[in-house]
Structure 1
Amino acid sequence: MDGGLDRRGWLPCYLSGAVFAVCMAGTTLPTPLYSLYQGELGFSEMTVTVVYAVYAFGVIGVLLLAGNASDAVGRRPVLWWGLGCAAASAVCFLCATALGWLYAGRLLSGLSAGLFTGAATAYVMELAPGRGSSRASFVATAANMGGLGCGPLLAGFLAQYASWPLYLPFVVHLVLLAVSAVVLSGLKETVGERRPLATVRPQRPGLPPEVRAVFRPAALASFVGFALFGVFTSVSPAFLSQFLGVDNHAVSGLVVALAFFASIAGQSAVGRIGERRSLPLGCAGLLGGLTLLAAALWWQLLPLVVLSALLGGAGQGLAFRAALSQVAAASPVDRRAAVISTLFVVAYAGISLPVIGVGVLSVHIGLQDAGLVFIACMAVLVTCAGLYLLRPPAGRTPTPDQANGPRPRLP
């Protein structure tokens, strides 16, 4: 196949990835704007963390109740619903004259992300040419994390350098969603035999005995990585403003975006490093990122915040992609979807529960000390995961890599 045909063959995959990225960008769009909402609506830092965590509860609810819906009704209908929820979320933020609008907007945003997480990942991979599954997997993960990174970057720059900071970002996102709807309408459906929505049943997270040894460190690393992202996207703008005097919304958005972009870099390195080494290295990166974040909180230095975003984000990318690959490979074929859903539930619990804990603690001991307590707790968890992975193979159930030899390399 010549280069031109190859590019055209990959075009549907890239276009579906772009739609995926646009939807995910909406979920982090409010991140640099929370300080403005605090000024407008007069709520506390505790409320910011709860508003943020509502998103994760929406994602978890959809993953449990309808995570397999696209297998039955088709990918495109589920993605249409996801775009609709994303548009409704933007409208809620445009109408945000009271706190209830923010809760509604975040919940709808979580629903859109939950609908897209499984369906769009499968859709991107199914639209790729036959021999491009590894490359398509990276397109899907890059679209997911890249979209999450572009959200605060876009909102921060518009809020800082354009008019109507609480309105223009969501108007722009609505326009991007409309373009995405046009793109989606031109892509083909990849599910051949579709069934009625009534046949969809809630998924019960499952963990077969043979997966548990692989799952424990993978789940711990995923939890910590997503918890780090949760804190960066919920309270780091407030820390930058209160302790470092950084009131530039573009800078706040950029710092958050760097963590997600570093995650993409970490994920892309898994193919070269190998899955077995990527998970412990990712844990080490997360521990280094947490250490730098603690130093940034203690000495109140912006360069340390940036370095913690880069190192922690890269560690999250390494750990999560390796964790997802190892858990999927260790799972029985007939239970694989349930096991992966369980891993995502753990990951999104990491986004919500620790963030709420930071918010509660900040009311009593202040944001700086609450952040240090959070870092200490997450450091213990990721250290446990790393030590478990460094045990001799005889001390734990061998992974498929260890039992069956090397696996095909990722991109």
Structure 2
Amino acid sequence: MVGDRQRWRQCFLGGAVFAVCMAGTTLPTPLYGLYQEKFGFSELTVTVVYAVYALGVIGVLLLAGNASDVVGRRPVLLAGLGFAVASAVCFLCAVGLGWLYAGRLFSGLSAGLFTGAATAYVMELAPAGGTSRATFVATAANMGGLGCGPLLAGVLAQYAAWPLYLPFIVHMALVAVSAVALVRLPETVRERRPLAAVRPQRPGLPKQVRAVFGPAAIASFVGFALFGVFTSVSPAFLSQSLDVDNHAVSGLVVALAFFASTAGQLAVGRVGVERSLPLGCAGLFAGLALLAGALRWDLLALVVLSAIVGGVGQGLAFRGALSTVAAASPPDRRASVISTLFVVAYAGISVPVIGVGVLTGPIGLEGAGLVFIACMAVLVSTAAVYLLRRPERAAT
């Protein structure tokens, strides 16, 4: 029992480190309006700056998605924290748009190193028999950290001095504490190899994972795409269409989506992994419908409801997807398979978000948002139909 308690403490501490790193990736969200005023760039540029982060994540996952399987979890996670510091430094030194691109790229490299490695690490730190609970700790740390970023930055930007500097100073302090905690945690990879053994990987899946990966990947793509739009353009919509210029409110609306995702993940324990994916798809569809209503009628209440309902749907779908894929993966390829799932998820953050930015010029933010919603609704409906028709394969 004492051993189990110790391992759970290590598991939660690993989750806290995971959350701190992910908070840095969404920290600039409520600050984009201030950067637009300072540097004079368009809404399309906002989406491109945001998407550079996703490209960094995908690049790391493809080039070094199995790095932690080879050299160990801790070295990879320490490198991720190093890139988080580099990102904060870029934002602190920003005197032009290039600094923002560099900051987002470093942030993407940080998240790319953390996503698969930290998820696997948190699960491995837990005692035997605690896989389900540890999966929740990992996914909650991921989404909870993403939610804390805009909330922290929004509150500091609205009510404290140095709105474009203090959030990053605070985050660097948290990263330093996290690095100390990480050094004190045990390594979970027993057979480590030299760094030279890390090889670029094409997205690929073991045969036993393929049957469950399709609907899991689609639901993850749509959920992250919804979060991508909330994170990149919702502050502009709140300001331009709803006259909400309070940075703390903008940060809170975005944070609600991520916190609701954590609640959705917690609900998986009650509804079951098999039912969480179809229920999550239904929640995502409802969240998209509410967002369409918010864009059509300019209602803040619908924006908030969309964040909550869509967030719960994303949490149900993503934890179900992650649990199903992880359970089907062989242990020696688990981190790389999880990284492949994250490649699809982060493609959802980049491609649709840039599409919204491109369409904003000719048809406006409302029209671009409605096109995005229609495309995502088709995708999530396809996944739901697959799950309902072939539940036995999806739950294998």
Give the TM-score band, short-chain normalised.
over 0.9
Q: 1:343 to 1:48 in 2, by over 3 A?
A: same
Q: 1:334 to 1:155 in 2, by over 3 A?
A: closer
Note the aligned Cα RMSD (angstroms).
Answer: 1.8
Q: In structure 2, which of residues 284, 287, 292 is the aligned counterpart of residue 286 of structure 1? A: 284
**Deviation per CA, 1:83-136, whole angstroms, max 9, x where unpaired?**
110000000000111000000000000000011112212222222233322222
CA offset at residue 49 of structure 1? 0.2
Q: Conserved in 2, the CA contact under 8 Å of 1:278 and 1:318?
A: yes
Match of 1:107 in 2: 105
Q: Conserved in 2, the CA contact under 8 Å of 1:330 and 1:400?
A: no
Structure 1: where are the runs of 5+ without partners? Answer: 402-411
Matches within 5 A, 1:101-180: 101-180=99-178
CA offset at residue 368 of structure 1? 1.2
- When normalised by structure 2's length, the TM-score is 0.95
CA offset at residue 385 of structure 1? 1.4
Alpha-carbon distance in structure 2 between the residues aligned to 1:327 and 1:314: 20
Alpha-carbon distance in structure 2 between the residues aligned to 1:154 and 1:300: 26
Match of 1:408 in 2: none
Q: In structure 2, which of residues 338, 348, 351 is the aligned counterpart of residue 350 of structure 1? A: 348
Match of 1:242 in 2: 240
Alpha-carbon distance in structure 2 between the residues aligned to 1:188 and 1:336: 19
Q: In structure 2, which of residues 314, 317, 320 is the aligned counterpart of residue 319 of structure 1? A: 317
Matches within 5 A, 1:139-288: 139-207=137-205, 211-288=209-286
Q: Conserved in 1, the CA contact under 8 Å of 2:77 and 2:113?
A: yes
Return 166-175 or 201-210, whichever deviates more: 201-210
Q: 1:317 to 1:400 in 2, by over 3 A?
A: closer
Match of 1:406 in 2: none
Match of 1:60 in 2: 58
Alpha-carbon distance in structure 2 between the residues aligned to 1:216 and 1:22: 30
Match of 1:398 in 2: 393
Q: Conserved in 2, the CA contact under 8 Å of 1:226 and 1:348?
A: yes
Classify the secondary structure of the residue corresponding to 2:85. helix
CA offset at residue 248 of structure 1? 0.3
Q: Conserved in 1, the CA contact under 8 Å of 2:274 and 2:395?
A: no
Instruction: Give the share of equivalent positions with the same residue, in percent.
Output: 80
Classify the secondary structure of the residue corresponding to 2:389. coil
Structure 2: where are the runs of 5+ without partners? Answer: none
- For these two proteins, the number of residue pairs brought into alignment is 396
Q: Conserved in 2, the CA contact under 8 Å of 1:210 and 1:331?
A: yes
- Structure showing greater radius of gyration is 1
Alpha-carbon distance in structure 2 between the residues aligned to 1:99 and 1:310: 33
Alpha-carbon distance in structure 1 between the residues aligned to 2:36 and 2:395: 50
Q: Conserved in 1, the CA contact under 8 Å of 2:120 and 2:335?
A: no
Q: 1:44 to 1:74 in 2, by over 3 A?
A: same
Alpha-carbon distance in structure 1 between the residues aligned to 2:78 and 2:341: 25
Alpha-carbon distance in structure 1 between the residues aligned to 2:50 and 2:327: 33
Q: Conserved in 2, the CA contact under 8 Å of 1:204 and 1:338?
A: no
